[in-house]
Every structure is written in C-alpha cells, then in structure tokens.
C-alpha cells in the first residue's frame, strides 16, 4: 500500500542544494532559448533602471547592465545571503550594478524606483506569490513593465516506459517546489495586482540529458525519494530510477517542459 500522493510532500531540494552556483550555471545553459525570449520581451533601453528579483548569481544583472549602458542602473535582489554576497560588477561600459539582500514579498525600494522589474524562476519559491507580483508592480514607474517567468511543474514530461508510475511519481514530485502551479496562475496574479495589458507566452524547454533535467527539476532524486516516502513501491521506484540512468547512458533520454512568461504594465 502506498501513501496518497497528496499527503506526502517531497523534500525541498532547492534548499538542500549544496552547490547552488553550479546548479544555476547549468540551468542557464539549458535555458538559453528562454532567456533570449525574455530579452526580446523586456522593454529595456539605454539608461533604463532595472530590478532583477531573485537574481541568484547575478549573471542576468550583469548582462542587463551591459544592455542599459553606463547611464542606467541595475539592481539584483535575492533572499540568499550566500548568493548575493558573490555579486560582481559588470565591467567597463556597463551600468553600475547593486546587489541587495531582501525578500520578493517586501522589496526594500520606494514606489516607482525602476522602469522594469523581472523575476525568472523565483515566484515558484516565494511564500506569497501575490505579494511578490504586487511588490514588483509597486516599484516600477507608471507605464513601467513587470516580467515574470516560471516553469509549470505539472507539465514536465519525461519519456519513460511505465506511464502509470511516471504519472504517479511526476505528479507527486512536482510539489518539490513550494508553488508548483504558479506559472499557470501568474496571469491571475498580475490581473489581481492591477497590471494592465497582461500577456502570456509559452516557451518550450527540451532536455536531452539527466544533467540538464536535474538542473531544472532534480528528477534524478525523484525515484529514491518516491520509494523512501512510500509514494511508489520501493522496487518499482528503483527500477524507474534505473531506467532514467540507462536512457541517459545510452544517449536516448528526453524530457520536455513549458515555461510561462507573463508581462504586464503599471497603470
């Protein structure tokens, strides 16, 4: 008898990550197409003031500083003191960058301080997604833009032989982040926060190795966790995990997913 998949929460593997920088750098490689789309959507120009909420290692902050140039300003905010402490300048010809320790739900900035605020793979982790979106809108100027993107954790699709077991484990494993369905909820969060001209775009992600998939979903930990937590029969979960390793070793691993990108404007 296995436990109901809605009764046992998977561990929050993000907090367990012992090398967050390595994980974020690998994710950035897998998300090159997503980041290109975000760059195209972002209404940033020379001299813009930009906020990156949940900036992680600050790689996007530095890229934005080059884009807005020396007349602009780019601020990265993150709740991790460990990551924010590693923030580096963007180099000559770029805007000055600032790294600030803080919470997305209570941004330490005055109203209308920025032209644009963005958050990439952050709202899925915050305690109050509605407060985070409202705060991003608060700190942009009237006419300013807010952009948020997250993957929908209910839509990760690995190709594995046992469809029933895959559905069971993946459905359960999607809860390893605090807000697994926030991507599909973002439009409502923007509308409720009073954003105008709210637009939704989808961006597919194709992952052809376990290392790539682990950078975004930690699927490599799912089999052992499902067996240990009684979500699936321990032997069946072990075999499921071995199939992932076998497919990866034989170069035929595939998992895909969907990022939801929502933009809105402040009235």
Decide whether 104 or 134 has the Cβ nearer to ligand SAM: 104
Decide whether 14 or 256 has the Cβ nearer to ligand SAM: 14
The only residue of 50, 122, 193, 219 in contact with ligand SAM, by rule CB under 6 A = 122
Question: Which residue spans within the chain are E strands per DSSP?
Answer: 49-53, 73-78, 97-101, 114-120, 140-151, 157-158, 196-207, 255-265
Q: How many residues does the structure list for the chain?
A: 267
Query: CA 144, 148, 154 angle in degrees (round to 5)?
Result: 160
Query: 10 Å Cβ neighbour count for 112?
Result: 15
- Name the minimum Å distance from CB 266 to ligand SAM: 20
- Going by C-alpha positions, the residue among 189, 78, 158, 59 that lies closest to residue 125 is 78
Decide whether 87 or 241 has the Cβ nearer to ligand SAM: 87
Distance, in Å, from the CA atom of 177 to the CA atom of 180, rounded to the nearest integer, reads 6
Please give the span between the terminal C-alpha atoms of the chain, in angstroms, as a whole number. Answer: 54
With contacts defined by CB under 6 A, name the span among 40-48, 115-123, 189-197, 226-234 that binds ligand SAM. 115-123
Decide whether 116 or 126 has the Cβ nearer to ligand SAM: 126
Q: Is 56 in the site for ligand SAM (CB under 6 A)?
A: yes
With contacts defined by CB under 6 A, name the span among 122-130, 185-193, 227-235, 258-266 that binds ligand SAM. 122-130
Decide whether 193 or 232 has the Cβ nearer to ligand SAM: 193
Contact 104, 123 (CB under 8 A): yes
Decide whether 140 or 236 has the Cβ nearer to ligand SAM: 140
- Residue 88: both structure tokens together: 């580096």
The only residue of 49, 62, 67, 121 in contact with ligand SAM, by rule CB under 6 A = 121
Q: Beta strands 140-151 and 157-158: pairing type? A: unpaired
With contacts defined by CB under 6 A, name the span among 51-59, 204-212, 217-225, 227-235 that binds ligand SAM. 51-59
Q: Is 135 in the site for ligand SAM (CB under 6 A)?
A: no
Q: What is the 3-state secondary structure (H, E, C) of 40-60?
A: HHCCCCCCCEEEEECCCCCHH
Q: Is 87 in the site for ligand SAM (CB under 6 A)?
A: no
In the region spanning residues 10 to 49, those forming contacts with ligand SAM, defined by CB under 6 A, are 24, 28
- Name the minimum Å distance from CB 24 to ligand SAM: 5
Point out which residues bind ligand SAM (CB under 6 A): 24, 28, 54-56, 78-80, 83, 103-104, 120-122, 125-126
């Amino acid at each position: 008898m296995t436990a109901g998949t809605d009764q046992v929460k998977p561990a929050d593997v993000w907090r367990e990550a012992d090398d967050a920088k390595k994980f974020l750098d690998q994710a950035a490689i897998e998300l090159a197409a997503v980041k290109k789309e975000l760059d195209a959507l972002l209404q940033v120009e020379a001299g813009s003031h930009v906020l990156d909420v949940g900036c992680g290692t600050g790689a996007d902050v530095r890229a934005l500083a080059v884009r807005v140039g020396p007349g602009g300003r780019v601020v990265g905010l993150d709740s991790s003191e460990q990551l924010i402490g590693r923030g580096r300048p963007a180099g000559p010809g770029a805007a000055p960058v600032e790294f600030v320790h803080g919470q997305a739900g209570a941004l330490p900035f005055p109203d209308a301080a920025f032209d644009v605020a963005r958050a990439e793979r952050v709202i899925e982790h915050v305690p109050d997604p509605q407060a985070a979106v409202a705060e991003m809108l608060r700190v942009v100027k009237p006419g300013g833009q807010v952009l948020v993107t997250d993957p929908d954790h209910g839509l990760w699709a690995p190709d594995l032989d046992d469809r029933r077991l895959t559905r069971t484990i993946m459905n359960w494993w999607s809860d390893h982040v605090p807000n697994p369905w926030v991507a599909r909820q973002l439009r409502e969060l923007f509308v409720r926060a009073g954003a105008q001209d709210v637009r939704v775009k989808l961006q597919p992600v194709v992952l052809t190795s376990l290392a790539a998939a682990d950078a975004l979903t930690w699927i490599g930990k799912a089999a052992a966790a499902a067996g240990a937590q009684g979500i699936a029969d321990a032997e069946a979960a072990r075999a499921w995990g071995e199939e992932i390793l076998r497919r990866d070793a034989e170069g035929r691993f595939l998992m895909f997913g969907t990022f939801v990108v929502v933009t809105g404007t402040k009235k």
